[in-house]
Each structure stands twice: as structure tokens, then as C-alpha cells.
């Protein structure tokens, strides 16, 4: 790339003959070799930069999915809007994204005269992203329900297209969506009506974003034991919060939801999850002053540097109790489900962006006398990544489809059980997928992938948080086990029956027969493991939790979704190939590891000895 310029986003020109292009580039290389050495040393490196176009129009899987599932009238309307939005991303939003990356937030604790101001300055591009989010209805779309049960899916599609061009603004949107969902689940009480209207507004002047202040000094996932913040009731019925929030994403948001322990008249409070209640608070008052909040510092993060993440002291912050006292964890669960879905959206979007860039680069870059696209091993590598992103995309669509049914009271009990299982499964699995694909895709650019000013490293850094935020892989794997135990086996019964029904659609397609057979074998192995594990101790299932969750993700994605998509009457050869390729991997790793004795007897002791020594 000339002078290592940042990736520009343009429409891919597919009319240029690739052989002619390779010949021109080879000629340039030979001419360069003939230059005098002194001149060559002064020449800047030049390579063709990868370009992408309208990401909606270029995403054939997305378009075929919408064509298959949306009612014709809905499809007609959203197609027009998504094509327009795709162009807007190219011409307006992507340049703002780069500005956000180059101008991260700055914290100013004191003014020139020594007064404490705790001001977090964000760049104009970041503020413009907030306005665009409102104008495009990126939150509103899910709550207006213009397209009834398809509204949530349509919102997810827009967020999927927006995510990789959002300059990190997809993160505050996730928490904003989660806060709106919590308030809606509470029946939108009168005291929160204004907040709900603002969180779901299309008016940039009214639109609010929300934070999610859960993590304290003892950690994030274990909120039951880690939350130290105390709430003291006031004479007017409001509360004052006192505590230290260790990690608060989108610290420049307008409002937030947070957990705290309500203290009685003697200052005593209940420990554990039963002592936690959910509160809503404004970050600043009408004059823009902080609500008895002090900013300790901004976090110095590996990625998502575009967004202000801070340590905050709550020193009597005025708040409203919005859950029943002691029911904070139950009330916040709706927010966690939404933010985990947003995590999946970000994972799938980052994979799609990296693969799109890798694919275009392969069409342009000459190495060893021919284009990268003409090197079979290089193309095989990209193809393997493409299979992963296709599976992840269909898993995302399945989740938001089910959520749309639940939000419009059309979901059956089986649909709701399946949704409860698939959210943590999809979040943990796609988070891992995204990191692996980002690293592999970066390698496809050679040394240029490692250059900061190409814009590729920021995609990798921002992707790495996806397996950590909203629950690490192990935490979510244990959450999957809890969903199974809580339903007393109903969840697995629904999972297996749903997979079987979807697979029946594929069994009539001859080309899919090998994949169907492998999927059937994987289901049999999973059932055998479940039967054997039923008589084992709890430790066995805990050790198997991660592999078990991976098995659920791979089986459902391959057998139920890719196979189903490939069995459509108008399915392409690419759809069939992707389904078969997915099923070529180990679909049930938990059965394989169980056969090796990885969860038996002294496995945990052996693990401990390997990690900490034999003492």
C-alpha cells in the first residue's frame, strides 16, 4: 500500500482481467529491479490495498437468508433500506470509524485553576456515531416492532453491517439495548418512561446511551460475591449509592444500570446474590455535573480504545431502585442476554470484515509470479475461514429469530428453552471463532497485516475482547450446564428434537448425504456421553463443560442450520459445500475427550499437577 495508507472502502471492480493485472504488476517489479540502487532505497513500498464495497450487496449469505425467511413485503422494504445503509457505511460512517480509532477519549481530572472537573473528552466522530445510531434506529428498530416478530432480526442485521465500521460504538449500543430491554421487561414503569423513550429514540437530540456498571474490585462474573456497593434509602424514596466500580464501559453514557446492596437503618445488608438489587441512575444532572461520581482514571486497554472505560467512585450517587429488593440478578438477566447477543453480532461482523478484505487482497496481490487467488493453499485457508463465518452467521440469525418470536408472544415453550440454551452457547463459541479467524486472516496479508496504519491490527485487538466481555468461555460453559439442570432435562430434549426436525429437511438432498451421516453419528455420540455422564459426579460435567458447549455449537450450527440452509430449493453449490465442510470437523469433541478419559477419576488432579507441579 502506498505510504501504508489506511484501508479505504470502495466498490470492488470485478471487470478488470486478473491475468492482465498480474502481468502489469510483474512488469513493475522487474522495472524496479533494474533501477539504480540509490533510487530503489528511496522508493516507498507499494502494494494494492484491499477494498470492499457495499457490504449488504456483497454478502450473498445474508441476502439469501433474508430472501428465504422474510415475508415478501417485509423483504422489499428492508432490502431498500439495507442497500441505502450499505452505501452510507461506505461514504459517511467508515471515515468516522477511523477518526474514532485515531482520537481515543482523553480524561481531564482538573481544570487550569485546580478545580476537579473529571471531564472525559470524546472526539467529534464518536459523538456523530451516537447521532447516526439514533437516526438509523439501531436501537429503536427492535422496540417499534414495525415488522412484528421480524423487527429484532432486522435490527440485528443492521447492527451486523454497522459493527465493523462503528469505531467501537457498537459497545455502548449493546448496553443501551440491554437497558431498554430491562425497562421493557419491568413494564416500563412511569418513573422510567422518559428514560425508555430516550434509549429507543430516533431523534439525536433526545437519544440516550446506557452503561452497565457491574464489575467491582473483586471481579466481574462473580457479582454475588464481588459486589460491595451499598445503597442507602433517602426520605424521598430514592437511594444514594456508595462504592467503587472497577470497570465501567462507555463511561460517557447518559445513564446506567448497576447492582448494589440495600443497607438497613443499622447499616447491615445481605451477602450473596440474594442481597443484590438493581438500580437506575443518571450519570449527570440537568446542568451536566456528575451525579456524586468521581472518575478515578480511564482504563488502558488492549483494544476497544475508541470507547471510554473508567474506574468510578460512587460517593452518594442518586439512584432509583427498579427491581424488587434482592432480585437484582434476576432483573439484570435480560440485559445480559441482549449484550451477549450483541457480542455474537460483533464476532460475526469482525470475521466477515477480515475475510472480505482477505478475499479482495487475494485478487490483487502477486506473489511468486501469480495472484494469491491462484495459489490453492492460500485459497484453501480463506475457504476454511469462510465456512466458520457462515456457520456463525446462521447461528446468530437463529437466535435473533427466536428472540423476535419471544418478544411478540409467538414463541412456544420449546422456543424459549432453546433460546435460553443457545445464547451462552453462541456467545462463547463465536467469541473463540472470531479471535482465531482474525489471527488467520491477518496472516493472509503477510507483513502488511502487522502494520498499524493499515487498520488491520485494530480489528484484531477489538476482536480479542469478545471471548472475555459478558462472561469468559469457562463461565458461559458452566452457565450452559445450569440451564440444563434448571430445566431438568427439557432443554436437551428440545435441542435434540429441533436438530432432528431440521435435519429431516436435508435428508432429501442427495449431495448432503455424507454430512447428514456424520451429523447423525455426532448426535449419537452426544447422547451416549449424556447417558454416561448422568451417573457421574458433578466434577465430571464441570471438566467436560467447555467441550460439551462446543459440541452443542457445532452440532446445532452444522446439522440444524447449515444443512437446513443448503437444503433450500434454490441453494447454491457454495451453500452445499459449506455445510459439508462444516460437518468434516469433529462435531462432538466432548465424546472424543470422554473416550480418552479426560474427565475421569484423577483427571482434575493430573491437571493440577501439570499446572502447579507435583507438590
- What is the distance between the alpha carbons of residues 99 and 125, in angstroms, rounded to a whole number? 6
Domain 210-327 sits in CATH at: 2.40.110.20
Please tell me what DSSP assigns to residue 595.
Answer: H
219: left (phi over 0), alpha (psi -120 to 50) or beta: left
Stretch(es) of the chain classified as CATH 2.40.110.20: 210-327
The pTM score is 0.92
Determine the distance from the C-alpha atom of residue 60 to the mean position of all C-alpha atoms in its chain, rounded to a whole number.
Answer: 21
Give Rg (Cα) of the chain: 26
Residue 58 has which C-alpha cell?
Answer: 456483497
- Do residues 425 and 556 touch, judged by C-beta distance below 8 A? yes
- What is the distance between the alpha carbons of residues 225 and 218, in angstroms, rounded to a whole number? 8
| Predicted local confidence at residue 23, as pLDDT | 58
| Predicted local confidence at residue 17, as pLDDT | 47
- What is the distance between the alpha carbons of residues 422 and 430, in angstroms, rounded to a whole number? 11
In the structure, how many helices (H) and strands (E) does the chain have? 24, 11
For residue 108, list its beta bridge partners. Answer: 119
Beta strands in 276-352 (DSSP E): 276-282, 293-298, 310-321
Report the Cα–Cα distance between both ends of the chain, in Å, rounded: 55
- What is the distance between the alpha carbons of residues 49 and 66, in angstroms, rounded to a whole number? 31
- Do residues 331 and 323 touch, judged by C-beta distance below 8 A? yes
- Do residues 444 and 385 touch, judged by C-beta distance below 8 A? no
- What is the distance between the alpha carbons of residues 609 and 544, in angstroms, rounded to a whole number? 18
* Listed residue (361, 328, 119, 117) closest to 213, CA to CA: 328
SS3 8: coil
Secondary structure of the chain: what % helix, strand, coil (to 5)? Answer: 60, 10, 30
* Listed residue (547, 489, 494, 485) closest to 522, CA to CA: 547
- What is the distance between the alpha carbons of residues 127 and 217, in angstroms, rounded to a whole number? 30
Q: Per residue in 18-27, is it b (16+ CB within 10 Å) or e — as a string? A: eeeebeebee
What stretches in the chain show pLDDT beneath 50? 1-19, 22, 30
* Listed residue (224, 182, 213, 183) closest to 314, CA to CA: 213
As a dihedral over the C-alpha atoms of residue 241, residue 242, residue 245, residue 250, rounded to 10 degrees, the angle is 40
- Do residues 285 and 256 touch, judged by C-beta distance below 8 A? no
- What is the distance between the alpha carbons of residues 583 and 391, in angstroms, rounded to a whole number? 11
Amino acid at each position: 500500500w502506498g505510504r501504508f495508507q489506511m484501508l479505504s472502502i470502495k466498490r470492488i471492480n470485478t471487470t478488470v482481467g486478473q491475468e492482465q493485472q498480474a502481468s502489469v504488476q510483474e512488469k513493475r517489479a522487474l522495472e524496479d529491479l533494474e533501477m539504480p540502487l540509490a533510487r530503489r532505497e528511496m522508493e516507498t513500498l507499494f502494494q494494492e490495498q484491499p477494498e470492499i464495497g457495499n457490504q449488504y450487496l456483497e454478502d450473498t449469505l445474508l441476502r439469501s437468508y433474508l430472501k428465504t425467511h422474510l415475508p415478501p413485503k417485509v423483504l422489499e422494504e428492508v432490502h431498500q433500506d439495507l442497500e441505502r445503509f450499505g452505501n452510507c457505511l461506505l461514504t459517511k460512517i467508515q471515515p468516522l470509524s477511523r477518526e474514532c480509532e485515531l482520537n481515543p477519549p482523553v480524561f481531564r481530572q482538573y481544570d487550569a485553576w485546580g478545580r476537579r472537573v473529571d471531564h472525559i473528552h470524546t472526539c467529534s466522530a464518536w459523538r456523530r456515531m451516537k447521532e447516526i445510531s439514533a437516526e438509523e434506529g439501531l436501537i429503536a428498530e427492535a422496540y417499534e416492532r414495525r415488522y412484528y416478530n421480524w423487527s429484532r432480526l432486522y435490527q440485528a442485521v443492521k447492527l451486523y453491517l454497522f459493527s465493523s465500521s462503528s469505531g467501537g460504538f457498537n459497545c455502548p449500543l449493546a448496553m443501551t439495548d440491554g437497558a431498554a430491554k430491562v425497562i421493557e421487561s419491568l413494564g416500563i414503569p412511569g418513573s422510567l418512561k422518559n428514560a425508555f423513550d430516550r434509549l429507543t429514540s430516533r431523534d439525536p437530540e433526545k437519544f440516550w446511551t446506557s452503561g452497565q456498571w457491574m464489575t467491582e474490585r473483586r471481579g466481574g462474573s462473580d457479582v454475588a460475591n464481588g459486589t460491595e456497593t451499598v445503597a442507602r434509602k433517602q426520605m424521598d424514596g430514592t437511594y444514594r449509592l456508595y462504592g467503587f466500580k472497577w470497570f465501567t464501559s462507555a463511561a460517557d453514557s447518559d445513564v446506567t444500570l448497576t447492582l448494589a446492596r440495600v443497607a438497613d437503618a443499622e447499616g447491615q445488608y445481605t451477602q450473596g446474590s440474594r442481597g443484590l438489587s438493581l438500580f437506575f441512575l443518571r450519570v449527570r444532572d440537568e446542568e451536566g455535573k456528575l451525579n456524586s461520581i468521581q472518575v478515578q482514571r480511564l482504563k488502558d486497554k488492549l483494544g476497544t480504545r475508541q470507547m471510554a472505560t473508567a474506574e468510578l467512585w460512587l460517593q452518594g450517587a442518586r439512584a432509583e431502585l427498579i427491581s424488587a429488593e434482592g432480585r437484582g440478578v434476576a432483573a439484570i438477566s435480560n440485559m445480559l442476554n441482549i449484550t451477549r447477543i450483541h457480542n455474537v453480532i460483533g464476532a460475526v461482523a469482525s470475521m466477515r470484515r477480515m475475510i472480505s478484505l482477505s478475499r479482495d487482497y487475494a485478487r490483487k496481490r502477486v506473489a511468486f509470479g501469480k495472484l494469491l487467488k491462484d495459489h490453492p493453499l492460500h485459497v484453501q485457508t480463506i475457504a476454511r475461514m469462510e465456512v466458520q463465518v457462515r456457520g456463525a452467521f446462521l447461528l446468530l440469525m437463529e437466535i435473533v429469530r427466536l428472540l423476535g418470536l419471544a418478544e411478540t408472544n409467538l414463541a412456544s415453550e420449546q422456543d424459549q428453552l432453546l433460546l435460553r440454551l443457545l445464547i451462552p452457547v453462541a456467545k462463547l463459541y463465536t467469541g473463540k471463532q472470531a479471535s482465531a479467524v482474525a489471527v488467520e486472516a491477518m496472516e493472509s496479508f503477510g507483513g502488511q497485516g502487522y502494520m498499524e496504519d493499515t487498520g488491520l491490527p485494530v480489528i484484531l485487538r477489538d476482536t480479542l475482547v469478545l471471548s472475555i466481555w459478558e462472561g469468559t468461555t469457562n463461565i458461559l460453559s458452566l452457565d450452559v450446564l445450569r440451564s440444563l439442570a434448571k430445566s431438568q432435562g427439557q432443554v436437551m430434549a428440545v435441542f435434540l428434537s429441533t436438530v432432528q426436525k431440521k435435519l429431516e429437511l436435508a435428508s432429501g438432498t442427495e449431495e448432503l448425504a455424507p454430512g447428514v451421516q456424520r451429523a447423525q453419528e455426532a448426535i449419537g455420540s452426544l447422547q451416549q456421553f449424556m447417558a454416561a455422564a448422568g451417573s457421574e459426579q458433578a466434577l465430571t460435567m464441570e471438566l467436560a463443560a467447555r467441550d460439551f458447549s462446543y459440541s452443542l455449537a457445532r452440532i446445532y450450527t452444522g446439522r440444524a442450520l447449515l444443512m437446513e440452509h443448503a437444503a433450500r430449493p434454490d441453494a447454491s453449490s457454495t451453500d452445499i459445500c459449506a455445510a459439508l465442510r462444516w460437518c468434516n470437523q469433529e462435531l462432538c469433541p466432548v465424546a472424543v475427550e470422554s473416550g480418552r478419559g479426560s474427565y475421569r477419576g484423577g483427571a482434575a488432579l493430573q491437571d493440577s499437577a501439570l499446572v502447579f507441579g507435583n507438590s
